[in-house]
Amino acid sequence: MKKEVITFLISMIVILLCLNVRGASAEHVYYGYVPPSTDIGNIDELINGEIRNYTPPSGTALLDVVGIEDNTKVDVYDISTGQLIASLKVNSMEKRTLFISYGTYFKIIANKRIAACISGGNMYPHDGGAIIHGSAGFYPSIEGGFRGKEFVFIPIVVRDSYMREVGYNAYILGLTKADFELIDSSGFWSLKDTVNQHSAKRYLLWSRVNHGSPAMGAGNSMIFHLTASDDIFLVAANGGSLIAVPAVTGGFVGKLFIVPIHMTIGSKVSALLIIPCEPGKVEIYDASSGEKIAEKSFSESDVAQNTYWFKKFSQTREEEYIIKSTGNIVVYTGATEGGEDPQDMGPDVTIVGARPNELIKVFVPTIGIIFAPEDVKVTI
């Protein structure tokens, strides 16, 4: 497996293997790619109290589109051919699912903001059967960034063994102390709680399962709406993960980060990957105690040579860390299979974006895909 640290000097660019959004007053545009994978198989999902069972066509992934407002018009295009894949309308908290062929580069154009997620594939162990592996990452808020006061989302699928052993698949990170309410689209399930500053609340929410697998998680539907009294992060947890962490100040390049570490199982251990974009000193603090865990300085030479800091931890249940830096950095969090190298993080897909004319460094363990909403010059 090949690994690289790549430097980008750009005007406007989004790198993703899931989905992200670029908004304008008239339309909102999302870009995505469906990597080749195994077939999904027969699955169950829960929508407004009703179990729905179906088998996606061979060679396709699921593109879920959830409305945030009523009467939202959505068009999905194949980027390579320019052909319209589908045109549909969704209302608030309504989900429509499309089957997108593997290898497709696509974009979504909506007249209002939506929540969108691409998922697919199964793991097939040597002893038979199929296991949904799942993914991890930060959910975008309906305001457009990753920190916000309101989220509409579908819990990302997580492998059954992780949910049984760990007991959660989503958590809420508090930037300050915040009250929040979580409701599902059925209107028959809700909860209210409070998260403290630089801490997390964790929940097991209903997500898709392989047909016949035991249903786990709260909710009478797999479509959820989260509102908070102050800005929070909403994060999906999974056993094997590679997550690009957004900075507290927005974007993926910054000097202050609150970083989630979720429980690892089996041979997996948690780890951080920190890549400097500028010289400076980086400090890692335990968010609950304020204790400094580690520090490392990077010189101009380190930055020029694409040096990174791979900080491996032991097996953990869950922790939060505060990372402070005097220079701009990029931060990844995740879990390894016990290996000693960043390429052992995952398997997973992650999203990284950059502002105009921003220098960003990106970890690419296998393949990276660049999406540009408009013509740009990219220096790698």
> Which two structure tokens, joined as six digits, stand for 347?
């398997």
Q: Other C-beta atoms within 10 Å of 189: how many? A: 17
Q: What is the CA 365 to chain-centroid distance, rounded?
A: 17
For residue 37, the model assigns a pLDDT of 81
pLDDT digits (tens, 9 = 90+) for 292-315: 999 999 999 999 999 999 988 766
- What is the pLDDT, as a whole number, of residue 122? 66
pLDDT, mean over the chain:
83
Give the tokens for residue 9: 């000097």
Q: What whole-number distance in Å separates Cα of residue 342 and Cα of residue 209?
A: 30
- Inform me whether the pLDDT recorded for 218 exceeds 70: yes
**What is the per-residue pLDDT across 355-369, written as a single tens digit (0 to 9) for each?**
888 899 988 877 788
Cβ atoms within 10 Å of 11's Cβ, excluding its own: 15
Which class is domain 4-9+241-371?
Answer: mainly beta
Alpha helices in 266-309 (DSSP H): 300-304
From CA 111, how far away is CA 133, in angstroms rounded? Answer: 33
pLDDT, residue 194, reads: 98
Q: Is 90 exceeded by the pLDDT of residue 243?
A: no
Q: pLDDT tens for residues 273-287?
A: 999 999 999 999 999
Per-residue pLDDT, 239: 63
Which range has the top average pLDDT, 3-17, 51-65, 110-124?
A: 51-65
The per-residue DSSP string of 249-272 comes to TSSS-EEEEEEEE----TT-EEEE
Mean pLDDT throughout 105-130? 76
Percent of the chain with pLDDT over 70: 81
What average pLDDT does range 160-173 have in this prediction? 71
Q: Which helix (H) or strand (E) holds 98?
A: strand 95-101
| Pair 161, 209: CB distance under 8 Å | no
CA 276 to chain centre: 22
Q: Has residue 21 got a pLDDT over 50?
A: no
Question: Do the beta carbons of residue 184 and residue 221 sit within 8 Å?
Answer: yes
Top pLDDT among 378 and 161 is at: 378
Cα–Cα dist 340/73, whole Å = 47
The domain ranges of the chain are: 4-9+241-371, 17-236
Least confident of 50-54, 156-160, 180-184: 156-160
Indicate the pLDDT class of residue 11, thresholds 50, 70 and 90: very low
pLDDT, greater one: 139 or 369: 139
pLDDT for 345: 72
Euclidean distance between CA atoms 187 and 353, whole angstroms: 35
Quick one: pLDDT at residue 166?
A: 63
Residue 1 has a pLDDT of 36
- Write down the residue that tokens 């989905």 correspond to: 19
pLDDT level of residue 261 (50, 70, 90 thresholds): confident
CA angle 210, 216, 217 (to 5 degrees): 130
Q: How far is CA 131 from CA 128, 156, 158, 159, 268, in A?
A: 9, 14, 9, 6, 17
Instruction: Determine the Cα–Cα distance for residues 320 and 113; give it in Å rounded to an integer.
Output: 30
The residues pairing with 54 across neighbouring beta strands, listed in sequence order, are 43
